Amino acid sequence: MNYMPGTASLIDDIDKKHLVLLRDGRTLIGFLRSIDQFANLVFHQTVERIHVGKKFGDIPRGIFIVRGENVVLLGEIDIDKLCDHILQQVSIEEILEEQRLQQQAKQKTEKAKVTALKDRGLSIPKADNLDEY
C-alpha cells in the first residue's frame, strides 16, 4: 500500500532481501530492516559480495548501517532469478586473492599511463571524489 501513489518509497522493500551498490564499489546483500528520508539503510544478515570476473565470494558482515549518501542503487533480489549457472562461488580466501591480483593489475596499468603522460609533459589532476564504483 502506498500512501502517496507515484512516489518512490522504500517502505514496501522492508524485510526483503536486497543488494546495495555503494559508492566505494562494494556490494552488500542483506535484509532491509529500516529506512529514512535520506535513504540511510539498516541491513540485517549482511554479506559483502566480491566479484572478480565470473567468480564471486561472500563475506558475512552482520548488521550494517549505510549512510544514504553512499548508496548508488538498491535492488530487490528475486530468488527465482538466481544465476548459479553463470557465476561461480568460491571461498573467501580465493576471492580476496583474485581481488588483490585485479587491484595489482589495475595499479600497474595506471602507473604505466601516468608515466607515459609524464614523458609527454602532461598530467592528470587527482580526482576530488573518492568514488570507486
Residues that bind other proteins (CB under 8 A): 2, 6-10, 13, 19, 21, 23, 27, 39, 49, 51, 54, 56, 68-69, 71-79, 81-83, 86-87, 131, 133
User: Residue 13: which residues within 8 A CB-CB, separation 6 or more?
Assistant: 32, 35, 74, 76
CB 25 within 8 A of CB 75: no
Would you say 70 or 97 has its CB closer to other proteins? 70
Pick the closer one to other proteins by CB: 77 or 96. Answer: 77
* Residues recorded for the chain: 133
Q: To the nearest whole angstrom, how small is the minimum distance from the Cβ of residue 122 to other proteins? A: 23
Instruction: Report the SS3 class of residue 50.
Output: strand
Residue that is written with C-alpha cell 564499489 in the block: 25
Radius of gyration (C-alpha) of the chain in whole angstroms = 19
Minimum CB distance to other proteins smaller for 76 or for 94? 76
What's the min distance (Å) between Cβ of 67 and other proteins? 11
Distance of closest approach, residue 93 Cβ to other proteins, in angstroms? 20
